[in-house]
Amino acid sequence: MRKELGTFVLLVVLCIVVAILNPRFLAGANLQNMARLIGLYGIFSIGIGMVIITGGIDLSVGSVFALLGVLLSIFLAEYHWPSSLAVIAVIGIGTGLGWLHGFLITRVLMPPFIVTLCGLLFYRGLARFIANDETKGFGSAEGFETLRNLATGSVFQIPMPFILLIIISAIMWVVLHKSIYGRYLYAVGRNEEAARYSGISSRTIIASAYVISGLLAGVAGVLLAFYTNSISPSSHGNFYELYGIAAAVLGGCSLRGGEGSVVGILIGTALLQVLQNLVNLLGIPSSLNFAVMGAVILLGVMADQLLRRRSATK
Amino acid sequence: MTNPILEMKGISKRFPGVVALDAVDLEIYPGEVVALAGENGAGKSTLMKILGGVYQPDEGQVRIEGEDVAIRSVSDAIARGIGFIHQELNVLDNLNIGENVFLGREPVWGGPLRLVDRPKLHAQTEIYLKRLGLDIPSRTPLGQLSIAQQQMVEIAKALSLDARILIMDEPTSSLTLTETERLLEVTKDLRAHGVSIIYISHRLGEIKDLADRVIVLRDGHNAGELKREDINHDNIVKLMVGRDLKHFYEPPTVEARSNFVEAQELRTRRYPNKPVSFELRKGEILGFAGLVGAGRSEIAQALFGVDGPLQGKVLLDGKPIKIYSPNDAIAHGIYLIPEDRRKSGLILEVPIRENITLPALSRYASVGWIMYEAEKKVSTEMLGKLNIKAPSVESKAGNLSGGNQQKVVLAKWLSLDPKVLIFDEPTRGIDVGAKAEIYHLMRSLAESGVAIMMISSDMEEILGESDRVAVMHEGAITGILERAQCSEEAIMRLAVGKTDK
């Protein structure tokens, strides 16, 4: 709770500072755009957060986006599949990749870092090969306006991805914080051995976190493809896994596992987007984008550490 | 007599909310072994940490050879000739013996290059090893040594530092019987060489064997002192708890029922060629004695399904059961209280409540949604029933004392109607008061019809609690003794593999 609070305070302070320096921050269009991005990023960050709670890591998400984006455009624009079929196929592939990671990690007993690092390389390469290294789009293909609406549309001025995020977060909140499954997930992340000795099938639980992460990556992958509307296989989704990890860690997930919350991950995601926005609005050269993000995350975590150390000595 | 080498006078130490030590005195003469006894939390460790330079006392003086000294840090303590063998070993298992002994003080050559002089380092180390009767080359990697040998390395390190006062904190808690004997020999030998030893142990037998004097602490005070000739269990326990403890063994009042659990040709992963068969009666406590490594824990783990699918046949109440994982064992009412409760028994960072409800969460949930109130109710009941001393069920399990942690592990299973309970070292590192409570619980569970298997390396515990004793040696059961046949000698003989009369 305390951990989330610190990040939340940082978020509010940042918002106020940016709003004062550039009132356009509060303009409807800006807020709307930010909410859309928070929706997109939040969905897969929750998945990555779950994996981190089990003590694992998922580095493959960005490349999964590239692969899924390329496949989606091929299914829709070249094979002319019905849009619902294409989307289900793509989300299914994302889930399947998550299952594969879970299988390799819990049955073949490979370290999560290695498995998903190889995924990061492999899926990127595969995407570029399938696309012939050409940028893919949805061209003049028709019949999936409703679907595209999920990524680019709004309801009562609220962007669809944000609404989807709220729905997914609500579900995941119940799953993580109120259900038996969630309790098991945290138990396995804290102390896998003690969980096993309590009769929990820890391998199944860990594998399931990767499956859910894959599913959410699939959903986010579809939204992202429609949002960007063109998928250049060598750069689409680059670094997204790191945004997800950063959001989860800012939101209080410990890389050792067993800690973190849905609310925290949401706050972390929002913080990253505000930072991105700040760079644009305050006229900071966009080349400094990553530097600003890195510096703020570092300072935020440092402040948290210092405060905690002080409260511990008191 | 000569003057004391060390005097601690009126030592007090307060921590927020507690007085850990209140005007405690301790003195020790050259070549003397003083045992420091007391329940967990009595202040033994705090007192020793003050002597070892870890803590600073709030009041009181420390005198070494009559001279007032202030021990401000661990290195200060070392410089004054105080060696500290901690309960948890402080050795690096990626280095070899010599490198551990001289860690941070390696002999060097090559002038400004300061290269390690390995031949000299190992030659010196081997002198100390020889003195301790450890016949192992100094270049052996530490990872290849047994716990007992690693402990010897720690002692060698203390000797190499010219320790004149050696603190040994529960040195035998993870040693086998023969290793313990070896350690006691070494300790006596050190005493003969004029080293003064402060020996902390929960094992009263060792204290009796070794100590010239016992100083007992209780709740941060000096509770009393016993001279060599007055040292016996009753006297020590009386001082420790401040009351007479009734004798531990409570004989069963109901007849044990045969053929409740039958293990036939059980094979463990560690000893696949040694099938083990035994019977566990309903209502009895079956002790499992043997040296560490004899394969007792492996049998417990196999029965509980941690070791992978169970190899062999198990009949519960006459019906064969299949065990592939702890889940299956739990479904049949077979529960394990594991040896290492901090590692496999509890999740230290979460509340007591969550630990207790973990194995049977579905009982506290409807459609997957956990009902907090139900959890809280049951775990609060358990807190009272087992007399777990904790501020509330929301306290983290890691903040409890060893005895209370063990009771929380028990609470996990007691809320679930056990049929078979397997205790692996049920009271290791637990103070006398909590020990008695756990023994009492075990007995009343047995009376209520639970079959209890109790693995223990503590001879007093085996003799004091078991209705029958199975003795193991290198993976095989070398004998099962009825209560009347049980004696320390009979068990030891089987434990070292002497089955012939």
Task: Work out the minimum CA distance from B301 to partner chain A, whole angstroms.
Answer: 10
- Give the pLDDT mean for A85-109: 94
- Looking at the complex, does the CB of residue B123 fall below 8 Å from at least one CB of chain A? no
> Each residue's pLDDT tens digit in chain B (501 positions)?
578 899 999 999 987 666 789 999 999 999 999 999 877 667 888 899 999 998 999 999 999 988 899 999 888 898 888 988 887 778 888 888 989 889 888 888 888 888 888 899 999 899 888 888 788 899 999 888 887 888 888 888 888 888 899 999 888 877 777 778 888 888 898 899 889 999 988 777 788 889 999 998 887 889 889 998 888 877 887 787 665 444 456 667 667 677 788 888 888 888 888 889 998 988 889 999 887 778 888 889 889 988 878 788 888 888 888 888 898 899 999 999 998 888 888 998 899 999 999 888 888 888 888 888 888 999 998 888 888 888 888 888 888 888 888 899 999 998 888 999 999 988 887 877 888 888 888 988 988 889 999 998 877 788 888 888 998 888 888 888 888 888 777 787 777 766 654
- Looking at the complex, does the CB of residue B38 fall below 8 Å from at least one CB of chain A? no
User: What pLDDT sits at residue B457?
Assistant: 80
Nearest CA in chain A to B328: A199
Average pLDDT, chain A: 88
- Beta-bridge partner residues of B7: B27, B63
Task: Work out the minimum CA distance from A180 to partner chain B, whole angstroms.
Answer: 6
**Interchain pair A187, B347: CB under 8 A:** yes
d(CA B20, CA B46): 7
User: What pLDDT sits at residue B244?
Assistant: 47
**Interchain pair A190, B347: CB under 8 A:** yes
Task: Work out the minimum CA distance from B42 to partner chain A, whole angstroms.
Answer: 24
Helix axes A145-152, A202-228, angle to 10 degrees: 100
B79-91: b (≥16 Cβ within 10 Å) or e: ebbbbbbbeebeb
**Chain B partners of A186 at a C-beta cutoff of 8 Å?**
350
Q: What are phi and psi of B111, to 5 degrees?
A: 55, -125
Quickly list DSSP for B196-211: EEEEE-S-HHHHHHH-
ipTM score for this prediction: 0.82
Radius of gyration of chain B (CA): 25
> Which of A13, A119, A50, A44 is CA-nearest to residue A260?
A50
Which pLDDT band, with edges at 50, 70 and 90, does A97 fall under?
A: very high
- Assess whether pLDDT exceeds 50 at residue A183: yes
d(CA B50, CA B493): 43
3-state secondary structure of A194: helix
Question: How many A-B residue pairs are in contact by the CB < 8 A criterion?
Answer: 65
- Looking at the complex, does the CB of residue B325 fall below 8 Å from at least one CB of chain A? yes
B439 burial class (0-12, 13-18, 19+ CB within 10 angstroms)? buried
**CA quadruple A73, A77, A78, A82: dihedral, nearest 10:** 100
- Give the pLDDT mean for A97-109: 94
**Interchain pair B361, A183: CB under 8 A:** yes
**Interchain pair B348, A191: CB under 8 A:** yes
Q: Which two tokens stand for residue B274?
A: 């040694």
CB A173 within 8 A of CB A262: yes
Quickly list DSSP for B62-79: EEETTEEE---SHHHHHH
d(CA A224, CA A227): 5
B420 burial class (0-12, 13-18, 19+ CB within 10 angstroms)? buried
d(CA B467, CA B81): 48
Check residue B138 and report its DSSP letter. T
User: What pLDDT sits at residue A187?
Assistant: 93
Which of B361, B371, B424 would you mutate first to test chain A, the one with the most A CBs within 10 A?
B361
How much of chain A, in percent, has pLDDT values that exceed 70? Answer: 96
Check residue B256 and report its DSSP letter. P
- For B469, residues 6+ apart whose C-beta sits below 8 A from its C-beta are B286, B287, B288, B289, B462, B480, B481, B483, B486, B491
d(CA B307, CA B300): 9
Q: Which of A186, A191, A196 comes nearest B326 by C-beta?
A: A196
**Chain A partners of B326 at a C-beta cutoff of 8 Å?**
196-199
d(CA B427, CA B291): 17
Range from A66-70, A209-213, A269-273, B39-43 carrying the lowest mean pLDDT:
B39-43
**Interchain pair A179, B349: CB under 8 A:** no
Task: Work out the minimum CA distance from B8 to partner chain A, whole angstroms.
Answer: 29
pTM of this prediction exceeds 0.80: no
- Residue listed under structure tokens 């004997």: B181
- Beta-bridge partner residues of B213: B34, B227
Residue A261: enclosing H or E segment and its boundaries?
none
**CA quadruple B292, B293, B295, B299: dihedral, nearest 10:** 70
Task: Give A85-92 contacts, CB < 8 A, sequence gap 24+.
Answer: A86/A144, A87/A147, A87/A222, A90/A218, A90/A221, A90/A222, A91/A215, A91/A218, A91/A219, A91/A221, A91/A222, A92/A218
CA distance readout (Å), A252 to A214, A294, B93, B291, B348: 22, 17, 34, 46, 19
Show which of residues 355-384 on chain B sit within 8 Å of chain A, judged by CB atoms.
Answer: 358-359, 361-362, 365, 368-370
Q: What are phi and psi of B137, to 5 degrees?
A: -60, 145
3-state secondary structure of B435: helix
User: What pLDDT sits at residue B144?
Assistant: 86
CB B465 within 8 A of CB B440: no
**Chain A partners of B306 at a C-beta cutoff of 8 Å?**
196-197
3-state secondary structure of B194: coil
CA distance readout (Å), B11 to A162, B196, B219, B220, B276: 64, 20, 14, 10, 54
